[in-house]
Structure 1
């Protein structure tokens, strides 16, 4: 199974207030993330973390926490990710800045682009390739980005005029449809159709 999530912001107290996260403390947030993650992910699953696992620093605590998260973890680096510690690097199956890959739902195949940052133009965006991203949290910036994509399609911008829709999904853990839990592509697509 493949799962996706972004912007955990472990050990980042300001993230609770910034995102209006429903936690009284970092410990409460960490406990929920650990429980939600390990209740659904097995050690054979792949989990794609689209950046900002943590704020910089607190290496020992961070290493101990991430080591408890099940699954083979792939880190698409975000602006807050510091991977300079070799022990931390070893917790990930792969670390990269950007990734193109495929996933399936039933017999349907999907091409994906994984990036920490929302991007305005990605390969085959007008031919069904889906962008999964993070970084913008639940913000006016994210709403503006989604509005821009809609306007690109509506105005027949180059490379998107053939597209029925441009699909870019924010997989930040704080989003209602993510609920601090790694989600499958099917869950992400289904939950966003309801919005």
Structure 2
């Protein structure tokens, strides 16, 4: 099983409720409480045979013994798509990931249906294969006016049917852990699509591609 998540921001007190930072105002009073809860949610769901794509901003910049110990406890094969806050200068942290990259294109499957995915920390207005049904998963913008603006741009693009090769909408999903449908834990593609009210067919007639 593949799972997706971004912007966990471990060790970042600015994400806590009452921090006054203007960020997520997560419903945690301390970093210890946040770490304990998010670790438990992750490990209740993910097995060591699963792959989790972390789409950036695992933590704040800088070395942290606490961060290394925390990431070491997260189950699954972890692939990090690099974000602007990620610092992997400490080899002990880097080696906890099977792969570190800035951008990735993969295929995921639901009920025998192949879905092409573009994975990036940053929202992209025009991504590879979007007019053929390829889905963008991204992070970075949290629950912010910038994300509302980006999703409005996607909506306006969908109104331009002359931009589509086929009759399917462009789809970009923010997998930031603070989103209501993420619930601070990795989500599968099936869960992400169902949260958007998208019906998953028994068998798709045609998949997107990366040509």
Q: How far apart, in 2, do the equivalents of 1:164 and 1:111 lie?
A: 14
- How much has 1:56 moved relative to structure 2? 1.1
Aligned residue among 91, 104, 115 for 1:99? 104
1:7-156 alignment runs, 5 A limit: 7-17=7-17, 18-156=23-161
Matches of 2:141 and 2:190, distance apart in 1? 22
- Judging by fraction of residues, say which structure has more helix: 1
Segment of structure 1 superposing worse, 56-65 or 82-91: 56-65
Over the aligned positions, Cα root-mean-square deviation in angstroms equals 1.3
Unaligned runs of 5+ in 1: none
Size of the aligned set, in residue pairs, is: 193
2:5, 2:55 within 8 Å by CA — same for their partners in 1? yes
TM-score (norm 1): 0.95
Give the whole-Å Cα distance in 2 for the aligned partners of 1:126 and 1:20.
Answer: 36
Q: TM-score, normalised by structure 2?
A: 0.88
